[in-house]
Chain A
Amino acid sequence: MEKRVVFRSRWLPYALLAPQIAVTLIFFFLPAGQAVWFSFQLQDAFGLKTQFVGLANYAALFADSNYLASFKVTAVFSVLVAGAGIAIALLLAVMADRVAKGALAYKTLLIWPYAVAPAVAGVLWAFLFAPSIGIVTYVLKKNGVDWNWVMHGDQAMLLVVMASVWKQISYNFLFFLAGLQSIPRSLIEAAAIDGAGPARRFWTIVFPLLSPTTFFLLVVNIVYAFFDTFGVIDATTQGGPGAATHILVYKTYYDGVKAADLGGSSAQSAILMLIVIALTVVQFRFVERKVQY
Chain B
Amino acid sequence: MIENRPWLNFLAHAILVVGVLVVAFPLYVTFVASTLTLDEIIHVPMPLLPGGHLWENYSQVLTAGSEGGAAAPVGRMMLNSLIMALAIAFGKIAISIIASFAIVYFRFPLRKLAFWMIFITLMLPVEVRIIPTYKVVSDLGMLNSYVGLTLPLIASATATFLFRQFFLTVPDELAEAARIDGAGPLRFFKDVLLPLSKTSIAALFVIQFIYGWNQYLWPLLITTEESMYTTVIGIKRMITSGDALTEWHLVMATAMLAMLPPVAVVVLMQRWFVRGLVETEK
Contact = CB atoms under 8 A, between A and B. Distances in A.
A123 B29 CA distance: 12
A125 B26 contact: yes
B33 interface: yes
Interface string A115-153: 111111101110110111101001000000000000000
Interface string B1-26: 11101001101110110011001111
Contacts of B267: 108, 112
A26 interface: yes
B266 interface: yes
Interface residues of A, number: 100
A19 B95 contact: yes
A94 to B, nearest CB: 8
Contacts of B273: 111
B15 A92 contact: yes
Interface in A73-114: 88, 91-92, 95-96, 98-100, 102, 106-114
A231 B68 CA distance: 22
B16 A188 contact: no
B79 interface: no
A132 B128 contact: no
B248 interface: yes
B54 interface: no
Interface string B269-281: 0100110011001
Nearest to B81: A117
Contact of B102 (A17, A109, A119, A198): A17
Interface in B124-140: 124-125, 127-133, 135-137
Contacts of B158: none
A138 B106 contact: no
B239 A113 contact: no
A189 B1 CA distance: 9
A32 B26 contact: no
B179 interface: yes
B216 A118 contact: yes
Contacts of B5: 198
B2 A189 contact: yes
Contacts of A166: 23, 26
Nearest to B216: A231
Interface in A170-207: 170-171, 174-175, 178, 185, 188-189, 192, 198
B128 A276 contact: yes
Given A23-B151, A31-B136, A131-B243, A120 B259 contact: yes
B46 A115 contact: no
B213 to A, nearest CB: 7
B135 A227 contact: no
Contacts of A135: 29, 45-46, 48
A269 B44 contact: no
Interface stretch (B57-65, B110-118, B194-202): B110-118
Interface string B33-51: 1000000011011101000
7 contacts: A6-B175, A13-B106, A28-B129, A110-B19, A127-B30, A133-B44, A277-B123
